[in-house]
Amino acid sequence: MLTIDIITIFPKIFENVVEFGVIKEAFNNNLCRLNIYNLRDFTLDKHKKVDDRPYGGGPGMIMNVQPIYDAATFIKSKNRVAGKEGQKVLLLSPKGGRLTQAKLRYLSGLKNIIIICGRYEGIDERVTELVADEELSIGDYVLTGGEIPAMVVIDGVLRLLPGVVGKSESLECESFENNLLDHPQYTRPPIFKGLKVPDVLLSGNHVNIEKWRKKKSLDLTKEKKPDLFDKKI
């Protein structure tokens, strides 16, 4: 079973992530586990501080390496995964490699994912060198902390676990793993404010429907995500 461990100074942000939709069902059916750790519980500072001023000067505060190192070490020894390969410590930051569907697929095969959520102006570089196995980014923009990116990883990974999302839907995500966008979808009514559902979808001709969907999927990817289109399988 996959266990995800989160290291954060704001544990409350994660309180509701297990309470909705297929993710809630995944936890109810014991397909995965989520543990939230408060970084402040690991600081040796008597005032529970986990940040300090940057060496060399500059604005803002930097997260200390010590509490993060101790938290990760504690969680690693607690989980004791058979084989180091099944356990990865992730640091979420704009400097990381881009998170892709292929990366989520890889992460979903692990036994234990430990996610470090940064805050403030940045994190001591020694966290990257000493603690994190991999630095990941959810996109080229800057947020106030790693908590929302961590939720992106939780959601994206858990839906790939066997039994979390229904069979038909998992086949659709397979099509994203070909690096193609999904074709347009419609449901009732057949006409809304003058906009009609394409005739072919109402025709009942499944060969034509499949052809239409494949073409739309290719056209859409070429137009909206040319970088993906070049990598299509």
Interface with ligand 4GY, residue 100, by CB under 6 A: no
**Closer to ligand 4GY at the Cβ: 146 or 160?**
146
Q: Which are the contacts of 63, defined by CB distance < 8 A and separation ≥ 6?
A: 50, 51, 118, 119, 120, 122, 123, 124, 127
Interface with ligand 4GY, residue 118, by CB under 6 A: yes
Give the contact letters, 143-162, x = binds to ligand 4GY (CB under 6 A), - = no: x-xx--x-------------
Termini Cα distance of the chain: 30
**Closer to ligand 4GY at the Cβ: 11 or 122?**
122
Binding piece for ligand 4GY, criterion CB under 6 A, among 20-28, 31-39, 69-77, 87-95: 87-95
**Closer to ligand 4GY at the Cβ: 86 or 94?**
94
Interface with ligand 4GY, residue 139, by CB under 6 A: yes
Strands 62-63 and 87-98: unpaired
Distance between CA atoms of residues 11 and 190, nearest Å: 46
Q: 126-130 contacts: CB < 8 A, separation 24 or more? A: 126/65, 127/63, 127/65, 127/68, 127/69, 127/91, 128/91, 130/65, 130/69
Number of residues that bind ligand 4GY (CB under 6 A): 16
Binding piece for ligand 4GY, criterion CB under 6 A, among 44-52, 74-82, 118-126, 184-192: 118-126
One-letter amino acid for residue 96 of the chain: G
The site for ligand 4GY (CB under 6 A) is made up of: 92-94, 118-119, 122-123, 137-139, 141-143, 145-146, 149
